[in-house]
Structure 1
Amino acid sequence: MIEERALLLLVKAGSEKAYYTLYKMWVSRLYRFVYQYLKSEDATDDIVQETFCRIWTNREKLDPDSSFKAYLFTIAYHFLIKELRRQLNNASMEEYVEYNENARISEEDAEKDIDFDQFCKALQRAKANLSPRQREIFELNKEYNLSVAEIAEHLSIKEQVVRNQLSIALKIIRTELQQYSFILLLFLYKF
């Protein structure tokens, strides 16, 4: 099978065949990633399609020496956030949230509610598992809202190093905070 870098060069040059091969390589992984947040086949299909359309329309900007996975998932992430915002602003979503709030009456359910203070303590414990550089990059990005470019400039390192360290940090944080998945989603992907 042709290597990804060569495929990216061909796609950049306008090869539809190479684009389709790249699509087949990544579509199922991207679909699973988006679906885990949306739980809707139609919405997931739309985001995956929009993501790959964006890849094709911006093919001249592809960098064969950078991580295609990071580029692909970043595009999908932005479409995902846009969809989540749309859903949160949807009247039926408001009704659903209100229904869930009203349904949580019993004492047993109240005990199961995730306390934000517990989440913050768990987040601090999870950050302790990061290397000092990973923790610094994570905090600058997620807590101080600095972009990858701003962090790279601030720390005098390359943007790709920031992306790599942030990716590793996010994997560790997500693994450590699985039980707080909804709060973590809101924390990591601020609206």
Structure 2
Amino acid sequence: MPIIGEQKLVKKLRKGCHQSFTTLFHLYGQKLYNFSYKYTDSHAEAEEIVQEVFLKVWKKRESINSKLSFNAFLITIAKNHIFNRIKKEASRKKYRGQITTSDLVTNETENKVIFADLAEIARTKVDNLPPKRKQIFLLRRDSGLSVKEIASKLGIAESTVENQMNKAIKTLKSNLSNFS
């Protein structure tokens, strides 16, 4: 597809045009599927990755740079998604190797209670952060925005976002490390 046409579609997508989204999906969906399939060797996972990538595109449509290659943007999202899946699976396998079924059954209720308590404490500690720091932390954690996107959205320097994130994480780690 000519770059000019792609840029027009992305500009329309940024404004919420469903037709542009559908057109971009039809233009790049199969290519993205093939890319994902190479790494997953699974039709179902490759299809799921395509859906998740385009879902993320729709959610982040307003922040997409129409001057950059949309294809490269999609491949980057897919690559990151695939690598995250691989890391999670490796972590799960490692974790499964470290525990036994009896450990899970014995500690399941206790772990649920501890996890619920810890989650509540974490929510409280996040709520107690200074308002701007809390906003930055939640945009990063819940919305998955990058430092650059947060800085742009809030009209502040990227270094300020990084500084506030570091302070938030340091505060939360400190508060949560006392939990026993």
- TM-score where L is the length of structure 2: 0.48
Pick the structure with greater CA Rg: 2
- TM-score where L is the length of structure 1: 0.46
